[in-house]
Chain A
Amino acid sequence: MKNLKTPFALTIVLALLAGALGCQPAQQAGPATIRVLTMEQAGPTVEEMNAIVEEFNKANPNIKVEIEYVSYDALHDKITTAMASTPPAYDVFLVDDIWYAEFAKAGYILDVTDRITKDMRDKIFTASWDITTVGGKVYGMPWLLDEKYFYYNEELLSQAGFSAPPKTWEELVDQAKVIKEKGIVEYPIVWSWGQYEAAICDWVTLLYGNGGRLVDDSGKPVFNDETGVKTLTWMLQTIDEGITNPASVSYVEEDVRNVFSQGKAVFATNWVYMYDLVNFNAEQSQVTGKIKMSLMPAFANSGVQSATINGSMGFSVAATSPNKDAAWKYIEFLTSEDVQNRYSAHLLPIWQTSYQGESLNKLMGYTPANATTVPMFNEQFPFAHVRPKVAYYPEASKALQLALQLALTKQKTPQQALDEAAAKWVELAK
């Protein structure tokens, strides 16, 4: 027995030690491994992202890309945790517009100003460089040029007797009342007003659509002015009148998509990815072929024609990555005009040239959704507003999310709640 036990025990010890050593990245002569962190939400599907990785790996035998997905709401914290180790757990990650200032200040993302070619500068939308630029330095490649769009269910709307979607939020309320009276759906519109960044996106859309602003030119918060209070009061009112689905106060974009896909809402706002899934994917939607997009409404008498949120994102290289060149090569491939055109069903290209002349016709034909989303992008994008680029954004945003939630759950008045959030913003800016 002894003779059997000893080798057995030693094997366990050795196996444990081997396991512990295995955690160290092996410095082998094989292909350089590039670990990529991205999101599975409101953008290209996992299948599409995997296909792009496969193409890249095939074309670059010296580089092996491994890709991981998290939900949008986990992405920021996963990146900051990953950057605590050396070498970092990821070489490339997806960065939201609102995190660039914070990450650049923390030294997490590589300054790639010198790697941007003249070709890129000339052919990519000027506005998209703003996403990845902090203090005149470029920290990544823009990739996802997105904004919230206005969606409506044409069939249900015409059942209510309307031939055109609303142009103003007031008109939407009028249409919604008729829809409700006729019993077509219980709650005509669904939003993402949960305690997440999603709530800020819908709030910006409504606030700017009322002629308001988050901050003034000097960066001071002004969202608690008369317009801000009026806008938040309007949101609350639509819940009280049964026009807004009351569950919106706990919802994110995917909940909006689920409700809208079941034909339980006539109106919704969401990113571009929803159009293809809700209108062409019969597995996930019961309302295929019935969905249209139109210009995001604004409030009447606000002097604003339309307003929406700019929710763009870019890909960056971890500043401490041991394989910066290989990582950049993958980003270049992922954001190249050719790849972006071919995978454009749930994400539109950052390349101006994709929207010009012959290329435009080709882009509109790549997927069934593009025939609608590409012209819609051109129409809506001039009205897209960015959130402040400040290093303390996550904390500022959480304070504003709390204010919106306090008002929407009637624990505080809109004025009280917004004043408190504005005071927090002032304190954070110090």
Chain B
Amino acid sequence: MVRKLTLRQHDALIGLFLILPSLIIILGISLQPILSTLYFSLFEASRGINTPQTFIGLGNYVTLLTDAVFWAAIGRTLYFTLVSVGLELVLGLAIAQLIHTQPPGWRFLRTSLIIPWAVPTIVNGTMWRWIYNADYGALNGLLLQLGLINKYIPWLTKPELAMNLVILADIWHSVPFIALILQAALATLPADLEEAAAVDGANALQRFLLIRLPLLRPAILVALVIRTVEAFRVFDIIYVITNGGPAFSTVTISYLTYLETFSFGHIGRGSALSFLISLFTLVMAFVYIRILYRPEEKL
């Protein structure tokens, strides 16, 4: 008995040692910056060494919340988030269902799904910038060969189109993520419920809507929360494909934060923006959990 206890204590000590680095990392990398961002957001501070800082309380927040540029960016961010995550969920679910039926070559399909997801966002953005290029891009080449257009279209110069093009690039990148999560969840669902329903005369749509979808809800929740938070903070793909253009039509809230902080050097206002993004994200996650997460279900 005694020997076992020391072993357990020994294990606990090693366990502590092993989580120490992650504890340090979590406290140092996430908590400390969040607190200093909050602190900075209360100052009128411009960039520089030994530059003066003036405490202005919530002044930065007031400036932002009364600024049309801020709300326009919020609007674009919500549009990006809703459209891209919505389409990604529908497509991801469809692909997951397809793989679940195990058609010929489904293993290959499942493996090749990883590729778009594995491509770093910056590389993905660069790739799509080339695809959309007006003079030598693949999109114009494809549409021209199919006879859908009769001359090359300068896609990225159209303010009404640019955001949708960024969304398309994001969907290509992120659908696999949702498809893989949902496919894994589908594989764990008990088959007998659906079989019983089929015996009782439920058709395929009813079985899908009334049995499969409710059972998938926890997996959908996980995918949605992760993707929505990611989409709401979208930055790199926009930076690479459009640089916020044309005419600011792809300036999202993160892009605006980047401009204010790094390009214009308004450290205080940039910090306030970062903090607002965190708050928005928190609210969204909360709403999702209330809607989709029921106490009797476990994630």
Contact = CB atoms under 8 A, between A and B. Distances in A.
A9 B17 contact: yes
Given A194-B243, A195-B245, A409-B246, A250 B49 contact: no
Interface residues of A, number: 48
Contact of B135 (A2, A80, A262, A398): A262
B224 interface: no
A83 B154 CA distance: 38
Contacts of A255: 133, 135
Contact of B159 (A2, A80, A411): A411
B247 A406 contact: yes
Nearest to B259: A398
Main secondary structure of the interface of B (DSSP, over half): loop
B131 to A, nearest CB: 13
B7 interface: yes
Contacts of A16: 21
A338 to B, nearest CB: 35
B135 A108 contact: no
A250 B135 CA distance: 11
Q: DSSP majority for the A interface?
A: helix
Contact of B246 (A6, A250, A264): A250
A81 interface: yes
B42 to A, nearest CB: 19
B66 interface: no
B134 interface: yes
Nearest to B241: A250
Given A9-B18, A106-B47, A106-B48, A259 B246 contact: no
B20 A394 contact: no
Interface stretch (B87-95, B178-186, B260-268, B279-287): B260-268
A89 B148 CA distance: 51
A405 B134 contact: no
B49 A249 contact: no
B21 A9 contact: no
B210 interface: no
B39 to A, nearest CB: 15
Interface of B: 7, 10, 14, 17-18, 20-21, 24, 46-51, 133-136, 151, 154, 156-159, 242-248, 258-259, 262-265
18 contacts: A2-B10, A9-B14, A13-B20, A194-B243, A194-B245, A196-B243, A196-B245, A246-B134, A247-B134, A247-B154, A249-B154, A249-B246, A250-B134, A255-B135, A258-B135, A259-B135, A395-B263, A402-B247
Interface of A: 2, 5-6, 9-10, 12-13, 16-17, 20, 73, 76-77, 80-81, 83, 102, 105-108, 186, 194-196, 245-250, 255, 258-259, 262, 264, 319-320, 392, 394-395, 398, 402, 405-406, 408-409, 411
Given A13-B18, A195-B244, 20 more contacts: A5-B14, A6-B14, A9-B14, A20-B21, A77-B258, A77-B263, A80-B47, A80-B265, A107-B50, A108-B49, A194-B243, A195-B242, A195-B243, A196-B243, A247-B154, A250-B134, A250-B156, A394-B263, A394-B265, A405-B246
